[in-house]
Amino acid sequence: MGQSQSNEGRRHATTEQLSHELASKFAKRCFTPLELYSFQDVFKSLADYQDNIAYLKEDTIARFLEIPDILGVSSVVFQMLSYLGAFPFGKDAPVVLGFEQMIMVVVIMTERYQRVLRKGNRDRTKLFFRSMAVYDRREPHNETEKADGGTEIDKQKLEDAGTTRSHAAGFAVDEPVSYEEEEEEDDDDLALAALESLDAIEVFQHGDAPISQASIPSDNLKKLIMLLLLIAPLGAQESLALHAERLSGEQLEGLRKTADNILAAFVNVEKFPGVKIHQFNTVISSSLPFLFNGFNPLFEHFLFSKNIDFTKRKDSTGAPVPPPLDPTAEQPLLAQTGEILDLNVLSQLSFFIPGNSLFRRLRLLYSGSDAGFSMGSFETKVFNWRAPTILLVSGSRIADPPIGGQERAFSDTLPPKRFPDSSKSSRVVFGVYLGQPWRQTHKDCFGDAETLLFQLEPVHEVFHASSINTDYVSYTKSPVPHPGIAFGSPHPKPKATSGLSPLVNLGAVSLMLDSSFEFGVFTHNYTSGGGAFHNSVTRRRDWQDRFEIESLEVWGCGGDAEAEQQRQRWAWEEKEAEARRRINIGKGDIEADRALLEMAGLIGGNRSGGSMS
């Protein structure tokens, strides 16, 4: 009976009461006492007041988080926060960002909601989409009516806080997406899980317009991507101002270019004005799973008050707790810049490879421009690295039909080109993440299901490995007919058993580099259904890029331990080579020398070994 009365009370609770209860629950279970105290202190120091109501304004938040003005993204971020502050009642957005609303914001931005909402099995993707979306003006809906009755005072507060209504009528989406959209459920898993944690699931009524009518303006998404590229390497309590050098000159232009490549994964900006929910969910889940990770350390700044002297704290032994480490004292994010890999591309890689394997952990093992474009120099530099590696290759697309003699010779080794180019852009950048050490292959490919084949420019996309087809990586030399490095293609057979076709056997989704590292080809045979790597999830068509290689780099993922292991391996090989050079040959005893060479298998049988005289 008592339970039924409780449920009846929940049924008549207002959204304001439920939001208050959820904020209290989040504060107690998602923050430590010190974090909550810090949050209260930070909020109090930043808040403006109207009618005794404390709230944060757009410029205040942007200044506190040190969001650079040059990105023009502060209004986009504030729109997101004004929606997230209304959680779990999106229909009430945008809201004034008071104390309780900012608790919602910080909990969601730092993913601490997982400590309470165990059934919120999906990530923040759909919630973030709604927070940035505008709706097709051809589908009007009533977004001004509030469940608890909005007032003119509320509207004035919103204006004073600099709020932009995230769900006002926006641009019209004139064309459907280029592929068939799947139906998306409107129910938000996180919102449902939040209300279920309050035993108030029956009061949930989604007030937002159908999500299929919503789109994120492309320009807004590009601004946000630029911010995410900038904050990707942030550490705990690290100031964003420390990365200001990335916002000037060539680095700023590179930041914009990298953001364009990532935006191209979501939408063709020349044809469509915005990004739909299916595109957003599909691209992030397949190619950008860690896109929003930088929000975690950025918004944790709200949980660290500069007014608290941490030097006075003591640990369990009574010793003083040292202050947080100065991030500037750490080694650089990237020890050296390559021709392909710079800080912007490094951040781009961290969107699908965990950042703790990348930032301050990459070493340039091989660069074709420095070591020479040959498989011999590649082996010398790369084969002894016993940790994961990242191969990057860039180039310019060759003409079709090819013009120069070398281009024609390369094209003659490939099957006739049946597919169009992937895009109008002449420059392409591809790469591979490989968890196993490199080696020469003779019969079978190497690699595992964690191997990633990806494109970084002009369209960002990750092609995941199949668990059935294991033709991941082959590294072959003569006597195979077409030696080189291939990813996603069947292992080439020796000349004696190569069959009837003299052409390279390209996989359905594959990257191949010839043995001289002059040319490469990336194939996406969508019709075939994929091979060792899965098809594109967005570009549902056949295409092929044949290109002249301009830069080729291999980066080792690891620290000092991996580098020392490589150094020891090099030292051992040098010692073995020196021992072979010291073999007593040519000292006058021809018969002894011949016997030694025969035991080594260098002469005898069908091997003449040349003249000993």
The alpha carbon torsion through 41, 46, 49, 53 (nearest 10 deg) reads -50
The reported pLDDT for the residue numbered 307 is 84
| Angle, helix 58-65 to helix 33-46, in steps of 10 degrees | 130
Burial annotation 462-471 (CB, 10 A radius, 16+ → b, else e): bbbbbeebbb
The rounded distance, in Å, linking the Cα atoms of 361 and 331 is 10
Peptide bond into 94 cis (omega under 30): yes
Q: Are 232 and 334 in contact (CB under 8 A)?
A: no
The rounded distance, in Å, linking the Cα atoms of 369 and 552 is 8
* Secondary element (H or E) of residue 214: strand 214-217
What pTM value is reported for the model? 0.83
Coil/strand/helix, residue 178: coil
Average pLDDT across each block of 10 residues of the chain; the chain has 613 residues. List them in order.
51 82 94 96 96 95 97 97 94 94 96 82 83 73 39 44 44 39 60 82 65 92 98 93 92 96 93 92 96 96 84 54 50 91 97 93 95 95 94 95 90 93 94 96 94 98 96 91 94 67 89 97 94 95 97 88 62 61 56 63 51 42
Token code pair at residue 359 = 């930032």
The reported pLDDT for the residue numbered 516 is 95
Please name the residue ranges forming H helices in 116-188.
Answer: 125-132, 152-160
10 Å Cβ neighbour count for 395? 22
The rounded distance, in Å, linking the Cα atoms of 576 and 475 is 24
Contacts of 79-82 with C-beta under 8 Å, sequence gap 24+, read 79/131, 79/132, 79/164, 79/166, 80/128, 80/131, 80/132, 80/166, 81/105, 81/131, 82/163, 82/164, 82/166
- Determine the straight-line distance between the first and last CA of the chain, rounded to whole angstroms: 109
The rounded distance, in Å, linking the Cα atoms of 167 and 187 is 17
For 42, 170, 269, 343, the CA distances from 231, given in Å and listed in that order, are 21, 28, 24, 11
The reported pLDDT for the residue numbered 600 is 58
| Angle, helix 125-132 to helix 74-84, in steps of 10 degrees | 120
